[in-house]
Amino acid sequence: MEVLRQARGQLAELTGMEAESVSSFEQTEEGWQLEVEVLELERVPDTMSLMASYQVELDSQGQLTGYRRVRRYERGRSDARRSGGR
């Protein structure tokens, strides 16, 4: 859990946006890979807010080594092309 908290904090520091949740994570040979959901643009109503998923890579000590945005979507819209946490 500490690794997840550190990743969210490091991503927020780099992007200036708060991470809302971690939608997937897995241990890799190099450390950890996470997918983090971020609020990019707040709108009214909230279901129209613009969200983004970021792929975040951490080393074995939990330090962020890279990230990239993998998709953007409206909060209220389901994503039929993805299933599960990946």
pLDDT of residue 76: 81
Residue 73 above 70 pLDDT?
yes
pTM: 0.82
Sheet of 64-74, strands arranged across: 19-27, 31-41, 50-59, 64-74
Q: What is the pLDDT of residues 32-67, one digit of tens each?
A: 999 999 999 999 888 889 999 999 999 999 999 999
pLDDT of residue 1: 85
**Phi/psi class of residue 75: alpha, beta or left (left: φ > 0; alpha: ψ in -120 to 50)?**
alpha
